């Protein structure tokens, strides 16, 4: 019944981005029975509620709409959700933001938390790498915008993504779906569900996606950035009585493509000495030339091995006990993550770095206990949450024969000897033990039939204990393998070869830790103006817990690690929001508007610092003083008849660093001699110039956020009979647009990404039992960047993460 409600309401709410029926097998019946009074049921506030009655900005997308539009992971979901941003150069380097906030941009670090919580069947997924995998048998996705700290907690300062998969059914059912397309795209999905006994039901779901890469690597004669995903999910539902249900679920997900590489995008002039910038460095290798200076030729020459093996899985046990006046819920889960990467860190076809591999193993354990009470005047949710995470990374980095010329100053005679930096090996041992405990509560006081006041609170305790141990070994001038250390007492400290190697990378060891209590709270006031108009206002004080830097830190002049920057302060968020949810035209049309204003103190951001006395740039996390994000979101949908439905959603987001005086400088202001006190830095892009130690980016854009973002679409259908089968033919169109945005931690003239729009079409025929359609995505073959990145060393080379080109294919689905 809930599935039917989800379908029939899709056309009258903007939050179910609806372009196809919720499920094809009931299409005809659903169209005839559609009742404007039907409601979308969501669990955004940890209980089943009508979407239009909750005073929260929530976007909902149904599983069938996801399938119809080819939205099979969160990356694709951004084309339907204007205020959701997703950036990924590989599964570990993945960031999800809502309204422009959530995670520091462009830096991987296990010691900090995301600001957008991902929950699947009420289980918290700490590793955002799960977002790059395919959805498996999804019922619906709820995107909660704004802080959700009192009910979801665990650092949901920007919002939460709540994914619900299809539950086991006590009626036999199943479906199968196959898609084929260009680039050798092959995708198959299947699920089957039914009773095993009178009170025990099971469901098994499988998904597989395979696609050739879209970038050709001339160095290895392979197509890279491919897709190779498989997912399996099983669940058992036991209902020993009408009051108790217990669901045991397990899943396994594997992503193992030839991936990931970012091709040459452009070169910009920095303040590094001219003979140490990209053009001069590549000229040191006669005959070397990048395959193409046009990134949209989709060519690269990366010479190191590439891999992105991403394996996730876990088990969960959820018990729900109806106690009459309320429901007691327990969610117990274990999840694991195995990450097996291989990267080309120099982003060229030269053997500068031959290995940059940091495989990671994680285990996490969670336990949540909630009681949701319902009464005429007072509803509330009380709960407790425990989380423990263990991460172990054992990585390796190795330089090659081109490293001496590329990394050493040409004034150093050793730069002309390939043996000096060839074979420097850094073996990294990185560990994190992460504990989080919380107690929370949320009350809905129905003062009158129209007025509801809802306060909430959450108390958190977080503790992180880490270890960073990088042991660097190189070859000394006497051909012996020696430790590269900052310790002047080491016998090879003054050896010229090991001194040159130390300037590139040296051993480092430290054990950072963090622990703290914090309190999140909010107050929401909702007023039902009429049955079809809800007005609300919210204030929230939220926190994102502090963290620790686990990718190394800068060294002090004496060579010891700068432990003062090993710890990252918590973020403090003050959030204000007002909203209006309306339905009209006999509820055939919906218009919802939200205004928000978010101020963040000690915003966790990426910074870069020179290692004293060397040419090494060390990236780490620190805190920007103040950030502000404010804007307006509007969503409209209409279904004037059972044959036509349409929607449009838009967002205006004003975003800036209110105060960030010691930010990393963009590449055009970096790489030169560091300015002494009172010394005036050189103009942008002055080779060999004077660079500021850091830059004041107050008033500048946050990275990754467009000022304007829209999504829109429509579907039209007509009754039709084909080969004697009655059904309907349909034509669908969906599109999205985002304006210019910055793709660097500090805005750079080299990394702004121009606005672009994407257009998708589909046409098909469906009956109660099958659906067959053809589709074209990015129909006008728009060339666009998903992100641009400044490569290590400040040589001026900018690499690109390219969006998909035009893809096309067909899909056939059967249900039984």
Q: What pLDDT does 38 receive? A: 54
Q: Cα–Cα distances in Å, from 658 out to 61, 478, 527, 555, 625?
A: 34, 54, 33, 29, 8
CA angle 250, 256, 257 (to 5 degrees): 145
Distance CA 361, CA 391 (A): 6
Yes or no: say if 157 and 542 are a contact pair by the CB < 8 Å rule. Answer: yes
pLDDT of 51 strictly over 90: no
Q: What pLDDT does 562 receive? A: 83
Distance CA 345, CA 470 (A): 17
CB neighbour burial string for 698-736, b if at least 16 within 10 angstroms, e if fewer: eebbbbbbbbebbbbbbbebeeeeeeeeebbbbebbbbb
Prediction pTM value? 0.90
Sorted by where each begins, the domain ranges of the chain are: 2-815
Distance CA 544, CA 602 (A): 10
Q: What is the pLDDT of residues 619-645, one digit of tens each?
A: 678 889 999 999 999 999 999 999 999
Q: What pLDDT does 331 receive? A: 97
Report the mean per-residue pLDDT for the chain.
88
pLDDT of 18 strictly over 90: no
pLDDT of 228 strictly over 80: yes
Of 443, 464, 462, 465, the residue nearest 454 (C-alpha): 443
Q: What is the pLDDT of residues 469-519, one digit of tens each?
A: 999 999 999 999 999 998 889 999 999 999 999 988 899 999 999 999 999
Q: What is the pLDDT of residues 275-322, one digit of tens each?
A: 999 999 999 999 999 999 999 999 999 999 999 999 999 999 999 999
Q: Which of 143-152, 215-224, 388-397 has the lowest mean pLDDT?
A: 143-152
Q: Cα–Cα distances in Å, from 277 out to 231, 424, 673?
A: 45, 22, 14
Q: What is the pLDDT of residues 420-456, one digit of tens each?
A: 999 999 999 999 999 999 999 999 999 999 999 999 9
Question: Which tops the pLDDT comparison, 305 or 113?
Answer: 305
Yes or no: say if 624 and 659 are a contact pair by the CB < 8 Å rule. Answer: yes
Q: What pLDDT does 106 receive? A: 60
Of 67, 83, 75, 3, the residue nearest 40 (C-alpha): 3
pLDDT of 775 strictly over 50: yes
According to CATH, the superfamily of the domain at 2-815 is: TonB-dependent receptor, beta-barrel domain (2.40.170.20)
Report the Cα–Cα distance between both ends of the chain, in Å, rounded. 17
Q: What is the pLDDT of residues 404-418, one digit of tens each?
A: 999 999 999 999 999
SS3 state at 353: strand
Segment 72-82 mean pLDDT = 75
Q: How do beta strands 756-766 and 725-738 pair?
A: antiparallel
Segment 575-598 mean pLDDT = 94
């Amino acid at each position: 019944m809930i599935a039917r409600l989800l379908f029939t309401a899709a056309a009258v709410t903007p939050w179910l981005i609806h372009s196809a029926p919720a499920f094809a097998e009931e299409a005809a019946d659903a169209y005839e029975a559609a009742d404007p009074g039907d409601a979308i049921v969501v669990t955004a506030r940890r209980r089943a509620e009508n979407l239009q009655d909750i005073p929260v900005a929530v976007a909902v997308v149904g599983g069938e709409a996801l399938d119809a539009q080819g939205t099979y992971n969160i990356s694709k979901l951004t084309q339907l959700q204007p205020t959701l941003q997703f950036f990924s150069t590989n599964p570990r380097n993945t960031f999800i933001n809502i309204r422009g906030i959530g995670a520091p941009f462009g830096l991987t670090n296990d010691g900090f938390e995301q600001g957008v919580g991902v929950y699947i069947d009420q289980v918290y997924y700490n590793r955002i790498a799960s977002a790059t995998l395919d959805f498996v048998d999804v019922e619906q996705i709820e995107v909660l915008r704004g802080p959700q700290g009192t009910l979801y907690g665990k650092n949901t300062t920007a919002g939460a993504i709540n994914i619900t998969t299809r539950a086991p059914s006590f009626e036999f059912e199943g479906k199968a779906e196959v898609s084929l397309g260009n680039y050798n795209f092959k995708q198959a999905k299947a699920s089957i569900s039914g009773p095993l006994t009178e009170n025990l039901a099971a469901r098994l779901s499988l998904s597989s996606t395979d696609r050739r890469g879209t970038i050709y690597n001339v160095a290895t004669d392979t197509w890279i950035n491919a897709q190779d995903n498989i997912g399996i999910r099983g669940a058992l539902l036991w209902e020993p009585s009408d009051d108790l249900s217990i669901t045991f679920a397990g899943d396994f997900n594997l992503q193992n493509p030839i991936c990931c590489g970012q091709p040459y995008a452009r070169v910009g002039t920095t303040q590094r000495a001219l003979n140490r910038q990209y053009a001069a460095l590549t000229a040191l290798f006669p005959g070397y030339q990048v395959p193409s200076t046009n990134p949209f030729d989709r060519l690269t020459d990366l010479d190191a091995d590439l891999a992105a093996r991403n394996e996730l899985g876990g088990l969960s046990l959820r018990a729900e006990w109806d106690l009459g006046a309320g429901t007691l819920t327990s969610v117990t889960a274990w999840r694991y993550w195995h990450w097996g990467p291989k990267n080309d860190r120099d982003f060229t076809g030269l053997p500068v770095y031959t290995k940059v591999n940091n495989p990671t193993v994680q285990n996490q354990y969670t336990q949540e206990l909630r009681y949701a009470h319902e009464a005429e005047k007072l509803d509330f949710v009380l709960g407790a949450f425990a989380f423990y995470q263990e991460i172990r990374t054992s990585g390796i980095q190795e330089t090659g024969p081109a490293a001496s010329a590329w990394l050493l100053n040409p004034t150093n005679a050793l730069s002309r000897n390939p043996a000096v930096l060839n074979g420097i090996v850094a073996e990294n041992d990185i560990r994190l033990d992460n504990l989080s405990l919380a107690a929370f509560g949320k009350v809905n006081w129905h003062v009158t039939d129209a007025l509801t006041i809802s306060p909430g609170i959450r108390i958190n305790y977080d503790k992180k204990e880490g270890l960073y141990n990088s042991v660097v070994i190189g070859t000394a001038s006497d051909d012996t393998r020696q430790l590269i250390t900052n310790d002047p007492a080491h016998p090879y400290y003054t050896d010229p070869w090991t001194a040159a190697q130390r300037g590139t990378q040296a051993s480092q060891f430290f054990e950072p830790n963090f622990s703290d209590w914090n309190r999140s709270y909010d107050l929401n006031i909702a007023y039902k103006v009429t049955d079809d108009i809800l007005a609300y206002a919210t204030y929230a004080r939220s926190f994102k817990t502090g963290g620790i830097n686990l990718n190394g830190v800068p060294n002090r002049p004496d060579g010891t690690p700068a432990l003062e920057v090993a710890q990252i302060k918590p973020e403090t968020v003050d959030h204000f929001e007002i909203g209006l949810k309306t339905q009209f035209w006999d509820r055939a049309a919906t218009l919802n508007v939200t205004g928000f204003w978010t101020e963040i103190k000690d915003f966790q951001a990426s910074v870069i610092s020179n290692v004293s006395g060397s040419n090494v740039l060390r990236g780490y996390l620190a805190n920007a003083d103040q950030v502000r994000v404010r804007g307006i979101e509007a969503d409209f949908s209409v279904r004037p008849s059972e044959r036509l439905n349409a929607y449009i959603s838009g967002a205006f987001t004003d975003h800036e660093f209110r105060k960030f005086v010691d930010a990393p400088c963009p590449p055009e202001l970096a790489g030169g001699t560091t300015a002494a006190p009172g010394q005036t830095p050189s103009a942008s892009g002055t080779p060999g110039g004077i660079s500021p130690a850091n830059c004041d980016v107050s008033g500048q854009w946050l990275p990754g956020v467009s000022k304007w973002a829209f999504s829109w679409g429509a579907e039209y259908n007509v009754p039709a009979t084909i080969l004697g089968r009655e059904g309907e033919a349909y034509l669908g169109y969906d599109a999205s647009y985002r304006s210019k945005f910055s793709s660097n931690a500090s805005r750079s003239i080299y990394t702004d990404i121009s606005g672009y729009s994407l257009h998708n079409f589909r046409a098909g025929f469906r009956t109660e039992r099958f659906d067959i359609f053809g589709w074209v995505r990015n129909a006008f073959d728009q060339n666009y960047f998903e992100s641009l990145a400044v490569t290590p060393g400040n040589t001026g080379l900018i690499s690109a993460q390219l969006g998909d080109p035009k893809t096309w294919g067909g899909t056939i689905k059967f249900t039984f």
